[in-house]
Amino acid sequence: MPPSPSAGARPPSGPDSSRPGIVLASTSAYRRQLLERFGLPFETLSPHIDETPLPGETPARLAERLALAKARAAARQRPEALVIGSDQTAALGAEIFGKPGTIANAAAQLRRMSGNEVLFHTAVALVDGRDGREQVDNVLTRVRFRRLTEAEIHRYLEREPALDCAGSAKCEGLGIALLDALSGDDPSALIGLPLIALARMLRAAGVELP
């Protein structure tokens, strides 16, 4: 049974019914909520890909490769659609931080990031199943963490266990209190889906946006 359109998305009707379907190759609630800002109907699919970094792969290249791999995987299921893939890595030098999965891992990540600038690479890819065209972009966000005490780390994780976020902190929630500063070209990128870059890609694919 095919997945139903994402909650809150409008089914196509009238003259819009001729446009290609849009698929988000992710089951992330954060990415779904961000994409809903465009007011376009879309569905979500889980891409099921191996996210293991390749030997010597840089954090930026890893995010780009996985974003495109997710879009390609979902495009094989929806060959006539516009398929969006996205991935994010958090890096301190060559050290890459993924989703912590457990409170212990999240606490360890925050101890490591404490007092340091962490680079978040958020890649987005758009695969057009109609002609095979692929677009990829990568948005960098610099995040400087405060010097965190053990008590602050544990209080934060008790109130907002960010186990599904690379870097173990939600900047759109209480995690903003862990930071000294952040800078980047797109505030939505750090949440998980760079909407400015994605809007540019969708317009290039013929989708009308304001």
Query: Side chain identity at 127, as an amino acid letter?
Result: V
- CA 188-191-195 angle, to 5 degrees, is 30
Catalytic residue among 87, 128, 137, 186, which? 87
Residue 34: strand, helix, or coil: helix
R_g of the chain computed on alpha carbons: 18
One DSSP character per residue, 67-79 reads HHHHHHHHHTTST
Please give the structure tokens belonging to residue 4.
């139903």
- Tell me if residue 50 is catalytic: no
- The helix or strand, by DSSP H or E, that contains position 125, with its residue range, turns out to be strand 117-128
Name the residues annotated as catalytic: 87
